[in-house]
Chain A
Amino acid sequence: MSRQRRAPGPCGGRVHNVLRAAWSRAQRAKPSLGVAALVLALGCGGGGQGDGGPKVIVLGFDGMDYGLARHFMETGAMPNFARLAESGRFGPLGTSVPPLSPVAWSNFITGMDAGGHGIFDFIHRDPERMIPEFSTSKAESSERTLKLGKWQIPLGSGKIELLRKGEPFWSVLERRGVETTIIRMPANFPPSGSASRELSGMGTIDILGSPGIFSYYTSELFAADRQVSGGVIYEAWEEDGVVHAELHGPDNPFLVEKEEVTADFELYPDPEEPIAKLVVGSEERLLKVGEWSDWVPVTFELIPTQSLHGMCRFYLKALRPELQLYVSPINFDPLAPDIPISTPEDYATELARRSGRFYTQGMPEDVQALKAGVLDRREFLAQAKIAGDEIRRQYEPVLADFTSGLLFYYFGNLDQVSHMMFRAIDRQHPRYDPVADAPFAGVIEELYRQADEIVGYTLDHMADDTLLIVMSDHGFASLRRRMSLNTWLYERGYLAVKNPDLSQDPGFFANIDWSRTRAYAVGLNGLYVNLAGRERDGIVPPAERRALMEEIAAELLATIDPATGQPAVTKVYRREEVYRDRGAIDVGPDLIIGFARGTGGADDSSLGGVPPEVFTDNDGEWTGDHGMDHETVPGILLTSRPLKRPATELKNLAASILAELGVEGFPATADPGEK
């Protein structure tokens, strides 16, 4: 017996909150992303022997910090990095403005800055509708349907559109006959289709069309009244020795009236021992308390001839005194993918057949469940290890298949876990607790050791003439303080609210009085002028835009965080100044804010809310970050030999890689002076 209550939550974290809340908003505003996705659906050691052509392997470690990597190399924790640095080059790699993963990886992919590729943040805003929206992809269901009573038949296919502009560097290689394999490149969902083999990564949706919505089933009273970001809590009770509950899918696109598709499951607890049997369709698992299941395939029947194929992992937290069952976001099953996640389309299936099912959602580490208190830190680390192990296991056959051309392989584990564990290595962090954090003090070092092992494995299995490039998109810093840009704008009279006494701002600009607002913030680092003729309710004449931006920039740079006595913002860029590429610059914020190292934007503000305080101590679980002054969080670049064309920043790394493969002139549209 279960009673379910969906609880799209307010903010409480950072990037994932932003993404997930924006997803919730998008769900309400237009046909669901999930529905659109549905309609759209209608041995090791051999690598490196080589075929004679040039070979380049690029390993991308999201969030690997230059300072930490150098430190661990010096202490001997990263011997393979040190070995590689001796023969090649190791140094910082300039990141993007702002230093956020989708922006940074898009810089790398296109050889352009955000002004060229059009990805400025995780979140953009639609100036016509004034709502936050995803920056990297957009899903739309078919608009034409044939209605038959309560049923409808989509007459066209929906589409998922990659919003990143510019040509990916591997397209240029493929045109020159160089084979490329691009695994989990961020900001590449749906996959570009131009590589010989591609698997989409960060940005890939779960079955609900979101970045990842977990479910939590519990018998705790009133638990379902709790709203959490990035997940839904359902009440579920045992009756006559069994718990009946449902897994929740997206709305059924074949029904005129919106109705969620569901899949039943049962949990049979042992009345005395901490163990239970789980039954999902024809799948059965026996789980002890504290155990994770493997991937359990789930089929959502839409109509008798059409089904949606998902999969999830179960974690049995407790059976007594209360049932506590965590279910991962339902991922698209790579053995039967209903959305495009690879090139060719069956490549994801081939990978799954060779090394097992794997998380297909873009960011598999469930930081939201940790922030919501559904998983504790140990449980989160166990879940993150499962996700990381899958990706490492999958790397082995991919590397074994690589004989020539380019192989790019992405590892996101280090970034996501660093976000949640950074406080354990920062004694000045407001959440630092010497006792509680002691067991986690070595987690980040272990992440770097694992990265080192991957490099060691690669060195052992690649041909001698292969160029190995190890890079990251940005670095990391402790996130001690948070600054709400919208509140700052409000206190200085740039932004007006409808109700100053509102106890809980729902965000999404709901409380902003546009008729008196001259500037607003959305996204983690973006600040926009409420420009007449551009914004739906814009009031600032275009002629006054520049003066207003300069005024705000000067005030921001002069703002002192009262708790630290230091400037809270160390860089404020006008987009016209910081971006040299201009093809998509109009999408971006007018000002890009570089917070001081240690400070980051407040989540509520990043989603269009106006929380009460400008500055707050960071008291959440998300204790490490990089959405700061980009010069303070450089990534790394490590190469097995000096590059013919040295790269100092992400934006020109692709051109260096292409030069190694005999291709010049990338990107075609870039200012040659950039290189």
Chain B
Amino acid sequence: MINSFLRPLFDGLLYPFRGLHPLVGLTVVSLVAAIGILYVFKLTSNQDKLAAVKRKIHAGLFEIRLFNDNPRAILRAQLDILRHNLTYLRLAMVPLLWMIVPLVLVIAQLQFHYGYRGLDPGQSTLVKVELAAAAGRPQAILHAPAGVAVEAGPAWLPALNEVAWRIAAVEPGDYELDLEIGGESLSKSVRVSNDVVRRSPIRPSAAFADQLLYPAEPPLPRGSAVRAIHVVYPPGDAGIPGWESEWTWMIVFFVLSMVFAFALRKPLGVTF
């Protein structure tokens, strides 16, 4: 239910950036995320105590510099710094716990916007149907819409418990592949576009963990003989050529978020 709310929300939030270079959207998203993180941090943390413990850590560091010829004083100062660091971590844990769930949900949504590149017209990829249980050759038919061509398949691969097709993108667009597997009718989205749009590499099962990890598309019906349907998208590069990886965007996102958070902490009056 959360996913069905978040999907259109993020589609709408990222809509203005869909035709722009991925770094543009990621920069704005990182800025907004940094502001959000700072705001939550400010609200959910004890700012006075955090400021006090930071002062104590600084005092310890100063003590080490001041008494650098006194090993006992240095050792005592280091122990104090360690103790205050632990206190700092404890104080920071509260806002982190507040943020972790929304951050996971946000990251999961962003992953499916920035983690994969779109298919170009003429490009081929695989559609893979993971079967829930080993059985004989299932009846399998893939009905492709006009913008997608079926090049090969179905191939039944008993060792993988899988049925696979090779499809080719023909024209840009958002499409639904209709599959008939062992009497079940299922669908799977496929997007032929290089814009920053939500791409779903996996239509997962109805299991909670699968829905948490793959929120880009509604899950398969409960009790389906199909465990998951995959459309293989190439990994994204966040607009940085040569950095093709599903996680490139996340590195960019975290680095930019940290930079923005450090830059805005004083203007927003946040101690961390």
Contacts and interface: CB of A to CB of B under 8 A. Distances in A.
Interface string A557-597: 00000000000000000000000000000000000000000
Given A242-B159, A277-B157, A284 B126 contact: yes
A353 interface: yes
B152 A270 contact: no
Interface residues of A, number: 21
B158 A286 contact: no
Given A272-B137, A277-B164, A286 B159 contact: no
Contact of B160 (A268, A285, A294, A335): A268
Interface in A271-291: 271-273, 275-277, 284-288, 291
Interface in B143-164: 152-160, 162, 164
A241 B156 CA distance: 10
Nearest to A271: B158
A240 interface: yes
B102 interface: no
Contacts of A286: 126, 152-153, 155, 164-166
Nearest to B167: A286
B242 interface: yes
A394 interface: no
A583 to B, nearest CB: 42
Contacts of A271: 137, 156, 158
B28 interface: no
A349 interface: yes
Contacts of A242: 159
B241 interface: yes
A273 B156 contact: yes
A355 to B, nearest CB: 12
B152 A288 contact: yes
Interface string A217-249: 000000000000000000000001110000000
B157 A270 contact: yes
A240 B166 contact: no
Interface residues of B, number: 20
A286 B159 CA distance: 15
Interface string B170-183: 00000000000000
Interface of B is mostly: strand
A287 B153 CA distance: 9
Contacts of B156: 270-273
A350 to B, nearest CB: 9
Contacts of A294: 124
Nearest to A291: B152
Interface string B115-153: 000000000101010000000010000000000000011
B152 A241 contact: no
A272 B166 CA distance: 17
A276 B126 CA distance: 12
B179 to A, nearest CB: 15
B228 to A, nearest CB: 15
Contacts of B153: 275, 286
B126 A275 contact: no
A510 B137 CA distance: 58
A335 B243 CA distance: 11
Interface centre among B124, B158, B159, B166, by most chain A C-beta atoms within 10 angstroms, is B159
B252 interface: no
Interface centre among A268, A276, A286, by most chain B C-beta atoms within 10 angstroms, is A286
A353 B241 CA distance: 9
A313 to B, nearest CB: 14
Contact of A241 (B124, B157, B164): B157
B232 interface: yes
A41 B11 CA distance: 44
A287 B242 contact: no
Contact of B155 (A277, A349, A353): A277
A306 B152 CA distance: 36
A273 B137 CA distance: 11
Nearest to A336: B242
B152 A275 contact: yes
Given A241-B158, A268-B157, A335-B242, 16 more contacts: A241-B157, A241-B159, A270-B157, A271-B158, A273-B154, A273-B156, A275-B152, A277-B126, A277-B155, A277-B157, A284-B126, A285-B126, A285-B166, A286-B166, A294-B124, A349-B242
15 contacts: A242-B159, A270-B156, A271-B137, A271-B158, A275-B152, A275-B155, A277-B126, A277-B157, A277-B164, A284-B128, A286-B126, A286-B164, A286-B165, A287-B152, A288-B152
Interface of A: 240-242, 268, 270-273, 275-277, 284-288, 291, 294, 335, 349, 353
Interface of B: 124, 126, 128, 137, 152-160, 162, 164-166, 232, 241-242
Listed from nearest, the 4 A-B pairs whose CB atoms lie closest are: A241-B159, A286-B166, A275-B155, A268-B157
